[in-house]
Structure formats: C-alpha cells, structure tokens
Amino acid sequence: MTILHIDSSITGEASVSRTITRAIVERLSASQPETTIVHRDLVAQPLDHLTLAAMADTAVLEEFFAAETIVIGAPMYNFSLPSQLKAWLDRIFVAGRTFHYTPEGPKGLAGGRRVIVVLSRGGFYGPDTPAANLEHVESYLRGAFGFIGIEPEFLLAEGINIGPDERLTAIAQAINDVERLAA
C-alpha cells in the first residue's frame, strides 16, 4: 500500500493537523508492514500557484494516482483552506484525468482511493453554531473530492484556539478517532 501524506499547516511542530495526520499515517502503516509513505509538506516545499506552465508538470498528479490512501492536513485559515493546499488541489483536479464532462454532467475518474482529511479549526463552525455559515473547508473538500469520484472521510479537531484545555481535549478526541478510521 502507498500512503500519500499531505501537510499544509504553517505552524510546524505546533500544528494540530500535523500531529493528527502523523498519528493516522503511523496507525495505518503499522497494520501494513509493506506500506510506502510519501510525505509532501506544502509549506516546506510549496507549489507555485496555478499557471498554464504549472499545468504541464504532472508529477504531483502522478504521485496522487500512485497512492491508495491520501491523508491530508487541512487547517482552517480565515474561514478557508491554506493557499498551499489549494495549489496542490489545482494539480489534482484535472479535466480528462480525474474528471470529465458528459452530457449528463461531470463524472469523477479518481475513485477507488481513500482520502482522509484532518480538519483543524480555532473556533467552532459546526452546523449548529453561530459561525456555521463561515465553514468553507469541509464543504469545499467534500464537494471537490466528490466531483472527482472520491467520498472523503473527515476527522475534526475544533475549538483549538479557545484555550489550552480545549486544545488538548480536541487533539485527544481526534487521536481517539484515529482508531475508528484505521478500522
């Protein structure tokens, strides 16, 4: 099995999403000793924003296609995903490769892969919260991956900037959820 591990948090070792993606990758690879792990740190090695010239480089897309499981750290910054992650996604959502248009509408071509997304949020943005209409990470990623034929799984750590206790609780709950995802 090949796992593609994507990190996009700018906070380095203090990152909640990095802590949790690392735990997921460790747990998944422990159950399969022949696992190959490809780690792409989009902050340490950023991709250029999308240009026509960048579209010609298919290395990121081929790396995506080579993986059976993709684990993505997606922190919420200013109500959306990091621009580093968006630059990576722009290399993945390619007409004719991961989706195509038909008279009945778009058809995803990238199914058969498992995508696990770790969402980290400083506040609370769930459906029953006052800030629910500002949540644009999970909704975007659910729609975008669905467009290419993948139903992503989400693991959430939120309220991490409310205070130190809330941060520790959110991380502990997410780490406990890693076992559910690994099953």
The closest of 60, 58, 80, 64 to 141, measured between CA atoms, is: 80
Query: What is the pLDDT, as a whole number, of residue 122?
Result: 94
Query: Which amino acid is present at 105?
Result: G
Write out the H or E segment, with its range, that includes residue 158.
Answer: strand 153-158
pLDDT at 23: 95
**Distance of alpha carbon 52 from alpha carbon 73, whole angstroms:** 27
Residue 73: both structure tokens together: 């750290």
Average predicted confidence (pLDDT) for the chain: 94
Spatial separation of the C-alpha atoms in residues 4 and 110, rounded to whole Å: 15
Q: From CA 83, how far away is CA 15, in angstroms rounded?
A: 16
| CATH, range 2-182 | 3.40.50.360
Torsion of CA 143, 134, 171, 180, to 10 degrees: -30
Cα–Cα distance for residue pair 31/37, rounded to 1 Å = 13
Neighbours of 73 (CB within 10 A): 27
One-character DSSP codes across 111-133: -S-EEEEEEEESS--STTSTTGG
One pLDDT digit (tens) per residue for the chain, 183 residues: 999 999 999 999 899 999 999 999 999 999 888 999 999 999 999 999 999 888 888 999 999 999 999 999 999 999 999 999 999 999 999 999 999 999 999 999 999 999 999 999 999 999 999 999 999 999 999 999 999 999 999 999 999 999 999 999 999 999 999 887 776
Residue 79: its pLDDT value, please? 94
- Answer for the pair 72, 115: CB distance below 8 angstroms, yes or no: yes
Please check whether residue 84 is in contact with residue 42, taking contact to mean a CB–CB distance below 8 angstroms.
Answer: yes
